[in-house]
A and B are shown apart, each in its own frame.
Chain A
């Protein structure tokens, strides 16, 4: 463990410092990297976050549990549904409510669709980071289909907040299952195009293989989860290790790569899209009949105590920790967001490389800045 503390940064007054962000095309939001350069080589990186800090955890303390759901959308907006699910399950477990099977199935289906959409957008942006501009349009073209499914069923595309403690706000649209089957049929045909355009490109492989190597020990000690951690061989898939919703009923692989470089993280996400499609195929025809929500009281009061639930978002492990004093609002809510942990390994894995590699490596971490700042 001692090597973890070796990357403490000592600044010199004559360092050539350059600010990357808060407005910069490849930090994907208002993140600021303070870089020290030596020519093209980055000596160290200090990430500065907080430019989009909205105090969501504090806001949760004055909101009821139904209202908190709508705040959780706003941190990792690309896996908004999965964030909602975390709070919903935490509240349900605290109340010891048994939600209908139908809800569990639908939640899992939406979560996997959300994961595919998120990985598609990441693929778009990652290509852009490396200078391949066409990826952006290929990815968005396919992502549009998923958002259309959401729009038809839930009336909203990105942050639909369809979860609520006890179940869902409304039932699915009659076309829901057919549309998903159409999408899977389409996307199975289209996903190999991603490989043809980017993965198999020589320039891409030279730029990504062996770059930003993260060892398994580093991943564990920094708490790097999700595809980034799994790219280093860290088995951290919550869906597999601590199944929730309908994940215990489906058969899927946890994608693990051991190289730990940018290319491994890239491959994990591409393979996860295939796995998500497998999960969808298993669930979509078997949604049980039943109520779309459990019977809940209009005002939810959690019993006194501490409640924790973790889920696997598209970026890693999201933990929700609720401390309740028996009121209708929580006493304290703490979110363990995946990107916050994933960000701070950047100095360890990207320093000593070129600026272009820093952009590629930070792209491969798939940072969503509001998720870091909350």
Chain B
């Protein structure tokens, strides 16, 4: 299977408040269609790793490859474009723009990409919402829907540009078990039916056990690549 994302010898130091070596020679890869979780105790560096892999954090040593292209060291605007086109994010908090409708929130990254006409984007966004069973909320303001619904909107937004890799930072952390189960089911489907790769940081052992592979981290090292 081809590699979607590959990290080679990633090292990261926090300089403030004291010098601290957070990530120690991290090597990992995510293959196409794979559903991978990263687990570890608080402070083991798993979130730090995720943000480096997401290209948002650029202060690290080592190489990052996406679709077999080196992307570490690229200009910030170029990285923005890569995030826009190839990566999707779901965070613990939904981060919807509260003044916009659900549909507008989902459409926003595609409008930024600007590769499709606006009608097409609207149609695609509606389709994503329908798949996630929240099509009926499309015209509602983003701050008028429930927490579980918000997280599903956030997933739809992450998917709008058909990314190659979906990243999650505790995407079920704020959800009750039923909604968490829903989100897991959605992720599972995406990986199985659409061949989407997923890389999810989580504390939730039940969640992790059902995924393809678990990467365990401790004190900045990878203990087990699953």
Question: Do A and B associate with each other?
Answer: no
Please give the residue numbers on chain B whose beta carbons come within 8 Å of chain A beta carbons, in ascending order.
none
Residue numbers of A with Cβ under 8 A of B are none
